[in-house]
Each structure stands twice: as structure tokens, then as C-alpha cells.
Amino acid sequence: MVRVQFLGHAAFAVFRSEGQVVLVDPWFTHNPSASAKAEDFARVDQVLLTHDHDDHLGDTVEICRRTGATLVAVFETAERLGADGLQVEPMSIGGGIDVDGMRINMVNAQHSSGEGHPAGFVVEVDGKNLYFAGDTGLFRDMKTIAELWELDLAVLPTGDRFTMGPAHAARAVEWLKAKHVIPCHYGTFPIILPDAREFIRLVGDRAQVHALAAGETLELE
């Protein structure tokens, strides 16, 4: 069983069956929607960083230094933070690595970044395939992702302006064919959409949509 906890904005924790903890884009400090603090996580095994914008990089450095977690990030960011003493696994889009009994695949994202290329991740863990899209617009390679992996979960931004809005995110659900979907990257700032209601309406019965409140968890058995 894998448990995926929404921590606010675009931050997530993946709790594995044997106790390992993976964080994705752990922004807690100054995050108005955060349900946790960085220090709440005594154990973190890996941190997956989709890109280096502040609302995703967040507390990554502090968490990795305190817990000894390995940072998995695009080459340029991993190189910079590795030079500061973090344990890193650099990657580029199209590559995959085997870490701690799971397969981490870096896939494309259409966004911007201060360094390197923004990315998403498909994580093959404990018999489940989890897609964290990161910040992205809709792109046709999502169809390729669906061809390569049978997705149990897709985590998609739906807040518009900086990422997909509801209509494009609903089309992504159609292309990705994931069993479960968690919307994110909405409601944090006034200039993005306040909720996921329109996205849920547009998806209809094509997937099980879980609009989690910060702190809530989805269990995948």
C-alpha cells in the first residue's frame, strides 16, 4: 500500500509500505496553504524537485540537510545544491534511476525555471505508478506517458495562469487515463483559481478525482 498526502499548494508526501518517506516539492515556510512544517518530518528518504521556483524548492535544502535525504532534481539544480553539500541524484528528462527499491522517471513539463528544464516525475513504487506533473501546461507527450505507464495516480495542477486551468487539465486526465487524480496548485494565491470545482465537473466519471484538503491522504491499495 502507498499513501499520498497532500501538504498544500503542490507539496506532497509519499509514505511507502516499509516506512520510507518521499517528499515532492516541499514548500512549507511562508506557504499559506501548508498543513505541515518542515520539522514535522523527522524521516525523509528522498525529495523530488520538479523545478526551482520558490513555491516548489521551498524547504528542500533545510530538509535534506537535517534528514540526510537524497535530492532528485534536474542536473543543473542538483549540481548547484550538491556543491553546497546535499546528497543528490541528478537527472534529465527521459532518464530514470533506481533508488531505494523504486524507479524514478523524469518526464517533460511545459513551464519555466530559473535553471535547467522544469520536469515531472513518474514514480514506480510498491506496485503503483504515480505521476507528479509539476507545474505544466497541457502537452501531447502526456499521451506517450499513458502508453509507457498504466497510471494509478496523476497529480495535476489546475489553478490556471501559471499552469493548466480546468479545461486543459481535464483533457490531460482524458489522455493520461489515470485511475485516480489529485488536483493541486490552486487556492494558494488570489491570482490563481480558488478551488477545483470546475475541474471536477469537467472530468466527470473519467477518473476518480480527490480534491484533498491540505493534510488529507489518499491510500492506494
pLDDT per residue over 109-127, tens digit each? 999 999 999 999 999 999 9
The pLDDT value recorded for residue 38 is 98
Q: Where are the domains of the chain?
A: 2-220
Residues 4-14: tens digit of each pLDDT: 999 999 999 99
Q: What is the mean pLDDT of residues 60-74?
A: 99
CATH code for the part of the protein at 2-220: 3.60.15.10
**To the nearest whole number, what is the mean pLDDT of the chain?**
98
Conformation bin of residue 155: beta by default, left when phi > 0, alpha when psi is -120 to 50: beta
The pLDDT value recorded for residue 22 is 99
The pLDDT value recorded for residue 124 is 99
- Give the global pTM: 0.98
Alpha-carbon distance 186 to 159, whole Å? 4
